[in-house]
Amino acid sequence: MTVPWAEGFAAQQSESILDGTTEITAIWRTEVAAGSTVKLVRRRAKAPRPQAIVIDSDAEMRVGEISAKQFIIWSDNSPEEVDIVCPDGGQLRVWNAWRDGDDPDGLVHAWLGNAGMVAVSVDQSVTIGFSDGHEPADITKFIVEITID
């Protein structure tokens, strides 16, 4: 594509677009059964800016003793592996966010420019490469594997 991915999503009014032959998605969705555990494993997190995987649900989720309907797992200050328990199941939605600069309290961006992801499913897991909104688009700097048990 010659336009930023966010413009392609808006122009096509779609959550997925093609960049050449590669399907780029703005959001990844999946249904999980009650009692499921979603394991996130950060496979790669490379500078220049911190990125995050945002996990959003229509039901409460739990990480340790913390319950919420949304968790933001940052590439620069979270454990390499995170288990999210979904007591009631429901739909999960995943997208990425990023901060410009090293300020952990800095402005968080999502859904802009070349923000998007490529999801590849293999067996019981999906590996997602995320691109922040900056040029050029690059899905190799932040990669997370998700397994649902």
One pLDDT digit (tens) per residue for the chain, 149 residues: 568 999 999 999 999 999 989 999 999 999 999 999 999 999 999 978 899 999 999 999 999 999 999 999 999 899 999 999 999 999 999 999 998 866 667 788 999 999 999 999 998 899 999 999 888 999 999 999 999 99
Q: What is the DSSP string of 72-126?
A: EEETTTS-SEEEEEETT-EEEEEEEEEESSS-TTSPEE-SSTT-EEEEEEETTEE
Tokens of 65: 């003793």
CA distance 122 to 25: 17
Cα–Cα distances (Å) from 134 to 30, 67, 139, in that order, read 27, 32, 11
Rg (CA), the chain: 15
CATH 3.20.20.140, domain 25-148, yes or no: no
Question: Please, are residues 37 and 146 in contact by the beta-carbon 8 Å criterion?
Answer: no
Q: Which helix (H) or strand (E) segment is 8 a member of? A: helix 5-12
Predicted TM-score (pTM) of the model is: 0.91
Q: Supply the pLDDT for residue 2.
A: 67
CB distance 94 to 54 below 8 Å? yes
| Tokens representing residue 69 in the block | 């309907």
